[in-house]
Amino acid sequence: MSVASRVGEDIILRRSTSIAGKRSVLTKFAWVVALCVVFVAVLAPLLAWHQPIVCKYQGTYDFPAVVDTVRQIPVLGSYLEKSKPFRFPTFDARKTLDPDSFAIWPPIPFGPIELMADANLSSSRAHWLGTDDRGRDVLARLIHGTRVSVRVGLYSMLLAGAIGIVVGAVAGFFGGMCDWVCSRFIEIVMCFPAFFLILAVMAWIGEGLTGVILVIGFTQWTSIARLVRAEVVRGREADFVMAARSYGASNTHILIRHLLPGALGPAVVAMTFGVADAILLEAGLSWVGVWRSVADAFVGLDAA
Amino acid sequence: MTNTRDRDTLLQIRDLRVRYDQAAADTLDRVSLSIKRQEAVALLGDSGCGKTTLALAMMRLLPNGAMVSGSIELRDGDYATPIELTRLAEDRLREVRGKRMAMLFQSPQRSLNPVLRIGSQIEEVIRVHTNVRRADARLKAIQSLTRVGITDPERIIRAWPHELSGGMAQRIGLAITLAGQPDLLIADEPTSSLDANAKAQVVELLRKPRRTMGMAILLITHDWTIARALADRVCVMDGNRIVEDRQPEEFEAHNIHPAARRLIDASNRRLRIAVTNGDDVR
């Protein structure tokens, strides 16, 4: 009998560890995918660009694609803004100007808005995914589009998360009239269709990534706020909150230290789904032609 | 004579009445009680007689809808005038809670936040009470755990609440309440969720700070044996009011209130059941 129970214990033990193992493999896989997307977004000009990564021209070395990558990083890039970027001449011209020149190109040696000779090419060794109706390389546009999508998804959800967590926590914690006002406000905001609101805002302040991010952020926080409110209401009556009050903790302290940690889990999950929704919304807008996501992202950068 | 007694009094409750929102009757009906410095008073009563309500009223932790009348005065050796707790503003109340009066709750595990490690919860209390840096708070947390008889504080400090046994959790609850070095500790059924062994340990741990810190205790319990073991004075509550207020020895001899008799008999009977069960097993 004792042997049987021992065996049973073993099975239970093994099963639970294998579930834990599987979960950690899944987690690792998810991290790898997410990091790949971020990697592609941040390093887009090193993967697909119309300028080489390293080149030597007329006796000097230069790194135009690297410079352009750094230039597009929000804070760091502003230091490089002043100097006019080096431009490597086209293949035919450089041979006649400087026979000693050489260059290492990105894997896809085309920019996202650069026009090729031929439109509507099917996939070939030069253009892995072919070219579109205006003769632009599709894979290059895909890589640079990732950068826009990630920016829209992350920034708009950071904004939505900040609003949602504050409104939800205040509504849930203080209850009563405050809760009523916040909840009605949440319901009113939920009624705004983000898609059409963006169209209106675009007409008002003009096209641009900032407008899209702001509108998505200011409309998509409601589900986060509702989740946080529910968690805070549940936790507010818990014994450990009364215990914290009994040793002299203030309302702010109880809310931030005791209630928000428990409420952040559901909020973060809602935010990750929100990132996907925001990307889809942005892609929809771009497809309808309300704004030209990839082209607009390079306004100012690639006027040359 | 009256003067010296007055100075000895730490807390004076007079004619306290509490009625919950939309309740038909008072939950506390003109309750008067005084606690002297360093005195251990047990409040004995059946469940639902208003013991916990009294404790919550003292800490001003009653729900918003509760109506309170009467007075609760907390005296300070230095203060000329006592502090009236029933009308104290919320920000001044925070200076009383934890530092002057602290409360130990009935369910030790539920009074710890499940998503925070033990160490950070104790450090947090220390940082609420004293203005110390994080590293010093950690050191103090370890000291406070040693004081409540935990032998491996470094391990416990990294543990989560669900990993602890009931007795261990109650020790941590005690460490948290003692962190502010209060004059009065209100212990609300501190042993009712524990087994006999852990019970005895908690009673011993409650005795110690009385000696070392000169702390008064209000022990709320339905268990006569615990009250008898710890208290200088036993008050019995029945029907929302206090019906007996004596020294524990007097309960044997005197003609006492039937409610007190019933509670004492109940705990004796439980003892007998425990003994017969032991015989059966053997």
The CA–CA distances, whole Å, from B186 to A232, A252, B11, B42, B190 equal 28, 25, 12, 10, 9
Contacts of A267 in chain B (CB under 8 A): none
* Mean pLDDT for the stretch of residues B94-103: 88
* Mean pLDDT for the stretch of residues A218-238: 92
CB-based burial, B69-95: b 16+ in 10 Å, e otherwise: ebbbbbbeeeeeebbebeebeeeebbe
Residue A55 Cα, gap to closest chain B Cα (Å): 53
* Mean pLDDT for the stretch of residues A56-83: 71
Which amino acid, A15?
A: R
pLDDT of amino acid A66: 81
* Mean pLDDT for the stretch of residues B247-276: 74
Chain B: residue whose CA lies nearest to A260: B115
ipTM of the complex: 0.83
More confident residue, B233 or A283: B233
- pLDDT surpasses 80 at B229: yes
Cβ atoms of residues A137 and A116 within 8 Å: yes
Instruction: Indicate yes or no: CB of A245 within 8 angstroms of CB of B112.
Output: no
Is the CB of B125 inside 8 Å of chain A's CB atoms? Answer: yes
- pLDDT surpasses 60 at B90: yes
Average pLDDT, chain B: 84
* pLDDT tens profile A268-293: 999 999 998 888 888 887 777 665 55
Residue A11 — very low, low, confident or very high, per pLDDT cuts 50/70/90?
A: very low
pLDDT of amino acid A164: 95
- pLDDT surpasses 60 at A6: no
- pLDDT surpasses 50 at A10: no
Residue A156 — very low, low, confident or very high, per pLDDT cuts 50/70/90?
A: very high
- pLDDT surpasses 80 at A57: no
What contacts A189, CB < 8 A, 6 or more positions away? A218, A219, A221, A222
* Mean pLDDT for the stretch of residues A220-226: 94
Instruction: Indicate yes or no: CB of B98 within 8 angstroms of CB of A239.
Output: no
Q: Is B30 strand, coil or helix?
A: strand
Q: How many CB atoms lie within 10 A of CB A266?
A: 17
CB pairs under 8 A between A and B: 64
* pLDDT tens profile B139-192: 989 988 988 888 899 899 999 999 988 888 999 999 999 888 888 999 998 888
Contacts of B116 in chain A (CB under 8 A): 257-258, 261
Tell me which of A129-143, B94-108, B267-281 is least confident: B267-281
Chain A contacts to B (CB-CB under 8 A):
238-240, 242-250, 253, 257-258, 261-262
Cβ atoms of residues B188 and B146 within 8 Å: no
Q: Is B52 strand, coil or helix?
A: helix
More confident residue, A125 or A152: A152
Is the CB of B113 inside 8 Å of chain A's CB atoms? Answer: yes
DSSP A76: G
- pLDDT surpasses 80 at A76: no
Instruction: Indicate yes or no: CB of B98 within 8 angstroms of CB of A247.
Output: yes
- pLDDT surpasses 80 at B253: no
* Mean pLDDT for the stretch of residues A103-114: 80
Cβ atoms of residues B237 and B43 within 8 Å: yes
Instruction: Indicate yes or no: CB of B61 within 8 angstroms of CB of A249.
Output: no
Looking at chain B, the whole-number percentage of residues with pLDDT higher than 70 is 91
Cβ atoms of residues B194 and B170 within 8 Å: yes
Cross-strand bridge partners of residue B103: B186
pLDDT of amino acid B240: 83
* Mean pLDDT for the stretch of residues A3-27: 53
Which position has the token pair 């309302």?
A251
- pLDDT surpasses 60 at A146: yes
* Residue B38 buriedness (CB in 10 A; 0-12 / 13-18 / 19+): middle
Tell me which of A258-267, B10-19, B41-50, B243-252 is least confident: B243-252
More confident residue, A14 or A188: A188
Instruction: Indicate yes or no: CB of A247 within 8 angstroms of CB of B95.
Output: no
pLDDT of amino acid A22: 60
- pLDDT surpasses 80 at B132: yes
Is the CB of B103 inside 8 Å of chain A's CB atoms? Answer: yes
**Distance between CA atoms of residues B4 and B16, nearest Å:** 25
pLDDT of amino acid A169: 95
* Mean pLDDT for the stretch of residues A21-25: 71
Q: Taken in order A66, A72, A73, A77, is the CA torsion positive or negative?
A: positive
* Mean pLDDT for the stretch of residues B195-216: 85
* Mean pLDDT for the stretch of residues B1-28: 76
Which one of B56, B111, B185 would you mutate to disrupt binding with A, by most A Cβ within 10 Å of its Cβ? B111
pLDDT of amino acid A19: 52
Closest CB to B113: pick one of A250, A253, A258: A258
Residue B52 Cα, gap to closest chain A Cα (Å): 13
Cβ atoms of residues A267 and A158 within 8 Å: no
Instruction: Indicate yes or no: CB of B110 within 8 angstroms of CB of A239.
Output: yes
Contacts of A253 in chain B (CB under 8 A): 128
Q: Is B13 strand, coil or helix?
A: strand
Contacts of B94 in chain A (CB under 8 A): 248-250
- pLDDT surpasses 90 at A267: yes
Closest CB to B98: pick one of A239, A246, A258: A246
Instruction: Indicate yes or no: CB of A257 within 8 angstroms of CB of B128.
Output: no
More confident residue, A235 or A292: A235
Is the CB of B99 inside 8 Å of chain A's CB atoms? Answer: yes
Cβ atoms of residues B215 and B230 within 8 Å: no
- pLDDT surpasses 60 at A296: no
Residue A29 — very low, low, confident or very high, per pLDDT cuts 50/70/90?
A: very high
Tell me which of A88-97, A176-185, A261-270, B54-63 is least confident: A88-97
Is the CB of B173 inside 8 Å of chain A's CB atoms? Answer: yes
Residue B98 Cα, gap to closest chain A Cα (Å): 4
pTM, two decimal places? 0.76
Task: Please state the φ and ψ torsions of residue A183, each to the nearest 5 degrees.
Answer: -65, -40
Which position has the token pair 């008889």?
B149
